[in-house]
A and B are shown apart, each in its own frame.
Chain A
Amino acid sequence: MDFFREQEIARRNSRLLTVLFVAAVLVLIGLTNLLVSGLFILDGATASATSDVVTGTQQWAVFLSVGAVIAGIIACVALFNWLRFARGGHHVAEALGGRLAVSNSNDVLEQRAQNIVAEMALAANMPVPPLYILDQERGINAFAAGVNPSNAVVAVTRGALERLSRDELQGVIGHEFSHILNGDMRLSVRLAAMLRGITFIGDIGSVLLHSVSYGRHRRRQQKNDSTAALLVLGLGLYLLGLLGGLLAGLIKSAISKQKEFLADASAVQFTRNPEGIASALKVIGGYTPGTLVHTARAEELSHLFFGQVRHRLWSLFATHPPLETRIRRLDPSWDGAFLTRPSTVDTPRSEADTGTAAVSGLHQAATAPLPAIDLDAANPKVEALAAGTPITTLPKVVLAEAKEPLGAVALMLGLLWREAAAADLQRILAEGHLPGLEHLVAQRGRELNNLDASLRLVLVELCLPTLKSLSYEQYRHFKQLLLQFIHADGRVDLQEWCLYQLTRHYLDPAYGPARTSKPRYRSLAKVKPAIEVAFGTLAMLSEGDTEAAFDRGAERLQLALTCPSQDTLGVQAFGQAIDTLADCYPLLKVTLLKAIAEIASADGLVSATELTLIKAIAAVIDCPVPDAMLPVEHGIANQNPSVTAL
């Protein structure tokens, strides 16, 4: 098949159809306008038959204003629907029951799918979108969601993972990439929004019809004229909405079909392997559940999928061309026989294998004591963890858990564990909305109590990327737990502040619009008190002379600063000071961070606590520092080869 030519044809057809769609909408607005303003003018003419005659200009004015109102109504409804659907792709994927694939999954099929997504991104010259898995769906299907490439995601059903070979899955994912690349999602969301606007006219009509028939029962024979006018208006609107909706729906489904042909041709361009996608379609044809998807919301997003999600009685309205047609285009010599393919997974997947696996697995892990495995040694030796001994490398179990969403949650909470408040913390966990954590958090909390400060930061940095795969709800609950843990003992210490700030600033942007700092201060002199508090706190942490360290920072900024007395400093004051500094102009922030690094290294050594604090400050003022920029003794940055080796 000449895929470049096929793409050209499909593009041209869908352009023509889009023009047709817009024309249909305009004609419909025109007709509705004619109907409504005709009635208005007639009404006006009969009411004022004796007095002044309705002039031509007045008629035009009525016509235009009615037109503006109708177009406005359609635009409003369309905009509302556009806003409802045009959210980031991950919202859509989660609404459909998708789960973000983890990058180090033990599931070979999942890993393979992720590799394929990366391969197709290379072939299509675009960034790698996140992959979601629909674990509950047995049908073979996939979809792409998100209105532009930067927020797009790709999702596949469990059925597709299990039934398709590598080449076939590659074809399917290549197809989805074409939808992302050609902006099909944007177009179809727009068309659907406009369609909703049209059918809304019909809705107004049917509401009018109902109210008229209801009103007739109540006050019969009264104001017969206006009731008749309303009846005509309602009926007219209803019919126009119905016909318009039908026509526009037809055109929309024709556009959708052209887009599918385009995507099939593009999949061949990306894979250069027409057999792959053709044979995927043949397997779907020979598989009883086909491409059906059962999630409730699949219907309204049907245009995003690889194949039809629901059976359609009338193929004119189907979002996808028939399987046979698609296969014939890809493989003209097809003999018409579908393929039957047994699942590549022999045993049926048990419940523990999918959704709840993480929880039950963690329960098991939690009941076993945590062995500390020294990764540096050639032969891993297993040691019982003695209480009180500092841990110098992260145990293997912890490393594995940090790569798993629920494990990472437990570890982050474990870092905040205070044995003194154990009962309170247990209660918080029991009331929390994240099940399966009670034992694990306590267990890890006790073990992590002795963790070296530098390793705490390493662990946090390992956990944060993993936590990105929490769903929005889970993240909300996690953050709630985190705050409750921090406030459990009634006070906030510097370490807790750092952990919370790092979490918030790293993860919040992934879950919705983050609060951005507004540059307000053009010179550092304006934020002098805040700088004094920040520097004073840091200088206090310094092992050497507090005053000397403070002065070095002040010298760097060339400002006359006075070190605040120790009792005025506290976490609250410090937090407020840093929040103030976040509103400085960007270039000032760099200067500030350099001065802060100077203070931290005043005693010749940047301790792990200081390093954590610098990173947290950098996160809050939204000015990330690369490790290389920090004046860190190599001892700290590379203290943990076991982690870098991973």
Chain B
Amino acid sequence: MTISMIIPLAIIVMAVLWGVAIYNQLVALANRHKNAFAQIEVQLKRRHDLIPNLVESAKAYMAHERDTLETVIAARNEAAAALGALNRDNLAGSAVATLGQAESALGSALGKLNVVMEAYPDLKASANMQQLSEELTSTENRVAFARQGFNDAVMGYNTYRQSFPNVLIAGWFGHRSDASLLEFADSAQLQAAPKISFN
């Protein structure tokens, strides 16, 4: 085999290896942002699971505030149902908007509960309640961070896909369009964490 044959062969091998590397990276990034979306659902579900505990703890102290507690539970159930109805393959549909509304209703119900709880010093001082309050803060943060993580992952994928020379071949591998960032219709409302403070 002569040099004139080896060189083109080496170039072809390099090009193939390079293409494989780009393909693998695209797959990794695409999977990462899909996983990040799943994380948002997980965290919303976590929030829904936490609320019955909160209400249960509050119930012992505030027997007269049945209405408030029932509103919270109802809002929670609605949000949980909306989350369950979410179609994972079609994220742009109206289900997302429904979920957004249900989540913000839940947020305001929790806010109301918090105001009511201010009138019960025993409740505020209870160690159980303090732990729940920390849990709630963390859950709100987790929902927010899960969204942010999703958007960061989408950005990473899009940037990689659009970079030169990846953009030339990404289309061949089926990565034709950018992934879309997460934007809820009423994002401002949705982002607001229910202000629960026991101070």
Contacts and interface: CB of A to CB of B under 8 A. Distances in A.
B142 A125 contact: no
B153 A125 contact: yes
A470 interface: no
A166 B152 contact: no
A123 B43 CA distance: 12
Interface in B72-120: none
Interface in A159-181: 166, 170
B148 A272 contact: yes
Interface in B27-59: 32, 35-36, 39, 43
A122 B149 contact: yes
Interface string B125-155: 0010011001101100110011011001100
A170 B144 CA distance: 14
Interface in A114-168: 115-116, 118-120, 122-125, 166
A166 B148 CA distance: 19
Contacts of A115: 134-135, 137-138, 141
A108 interface: yes
A119 B134 contact: no
Contacts of A106: 127
A122 B149 CA distance: 6
Contacts of B39: 122
A125 B35 contact: yes
Given A125-B32, A125-B152, A112 B142 contact: no
B138 A116 contact: yes
A270 B142 CA distance: 12
B131 A119 contact: no
Contacts, number: 44
Contacts of B145: 119-120, 122-123, 270
B192 to A, nearest CB: 15
Contacts of A120: 145
B137 to A, nearest CB: 7
A127 B135 CA distance: 20
Given A116-B138, A118-B138, A111 B131 contact: yes
A269 interface: yes
A604 B35 CA distance: 43
Contacts of A122: 39, 43, 142, 145-146, 149
Secondary structure at the B interface, as helix, strand, loop or mixed, is: helix
Contacts of A119: 138, 141-142, 145
A69 B116 CA distance: 78
Contact of B130 (A108, A123, A269, A270): A108
A112 B134 contact: yes
Contact of A124 (B134, B137, B149): B149
A403 to B, nearest CB: 14
B180 to A, nearest CB: 17
B45 to A, nearest CB: 14
A123 B148 contact: yes
B149 A269 contact: no
Nearest to B137: A166
Interface string A265-281: 00001101000000000
Contacts of A272: 148
Top-4 shortest CB links A-B: A115-B138, A123-B145, A122-B145, A119-B141
Given A115-B137, A118-B138, A122-B145, 12 more contacts: A108-B127, A112-B134, A112-B138, A115-B135, A118-B142, A119-B142, A122-B43, A124-B149, A125-B36, A125-B152, A166-B137, A270-B145
29 contacts: A106-B127, A108-B131, A111-B131, A112-B134, A112-B138, A115-B135, A115-B137, A115-B141, A116-B138, A118-B138, A118-B142, A119-B142, A120-B145, A122-B43, A122-B142, A122-B145, A122-B149, A123-B145, A123-B148, A123-B149, A123-B152, A125-B32, A125-B35, A125-B36, A125-B149, A170-B141, A269-B152, A270-B145, A272-B148
